[in-house]
Amino acid sequence: MHKALVTGANRGIGKAIAAALVREGIEVLVGARHLAAGEEAAAEIGAHAVHLDLTDPEACDRALDGVTVLVNNAGVLWDGNVFDDMDRFETTMDVSLHGPYSLIRAALPAMKEARYGRVVNVSSGWGSFTEGLGGGGAYGVGKAAMNALTVIADRDTPDFIKINAMCPGWVRTRMGGAAATRTPEEAADTAVWLATLPADGPSGGFFRDRKPVSW
């Protein structure tokens, strides 16, 4: 049985991804900044919870013990100008780039030992240069950086480790709002597909609805 970690999985898209992976027969860790919220979500879907602060590299190392499936789902979004608040900029980069980098790096030993690894970076069309780098504050910068990390991480890891990014679309979550057009379960589909790819599946790509999209 493979072991998966989904970050930001106590609600929304992350919780839907975690629940779907449980149904696939995978042991799932619900990564959450607030452990009590993670434990509540994990109990509901049949997973386990782990406290995870993406600004703490040591916490990332502890969370990745034996993990061969990693879904970097956690995200932050603030309104305003990218230069309004340095702390928010740094937090955005921690969640979108530095944290995922630390988690991928910490997961590599187990993935190499198993000769199997799947990494899914939950990005956004707002991180695409083709689609205009949208979102408030540093959101687009963070997701564009995540996309770049996806390409380079795929280049610098063995072929049996598949690393991809995906855009979930506009989703009815606390971040997306009530007017959004997709449910978390619909948004989770592509992430779950990428997290369970066969040996001949794609790697180093960017996907929406299981189809390639432009960087």
Q: What is the pLDDT along the chain (215 residues), one digit of tens a residue?
A: 799 999 999 988 999 999 999 999 999 999 998 999 999 999 999 999 999 987 777 777 777 889 999 999 988 888 889 999 999 999 999 999 999 999 999 999 999 999 999 999 999 999 999 998 888 889 999 999 999 999 999 999 999 999 999 998 655 565 656 666 678 788 899 999 999 999 999 999 999 999 999 99
What single letter denotes the amino acid at residue 214? Answer: S
CA distances from 107 to 27, 60, 88 (A): 15, 9, 27
Structure tokens at 157: 């890891």
Are 49 and 35 spatial neighbours (Cβ–Cβ below 8 Å)? Answer: yes
* pLDDT for residue 210: 96
Of the residues 101, 126, 139, 207, which is catalytic? Answer: 139
**What total of structural domains would you count in the chain?**
1
* pLDDT for residue 21: 98
Are 103 and 70 spatial neighbours (Cβ–Cβ below 8 Å)? Answer: yes
**Catalytic site includes residue 139:** yes
- Tracing tokens 């190392």 back to the chain, one arrives at 61
CA distances from 102 to 33, 99, 122, 143, 205 (A): 16, 5, 15, 16, 20
User: Which residue range forms the structural domain that includes residue 143?
Assistant: 3-212
Query: What CATH number does the domain containing 38 carry?
Result: 3.40.50.720
- Give the Cα-Cα-Cα angle 77, 5, 31 (nearest 5 degrees): 50
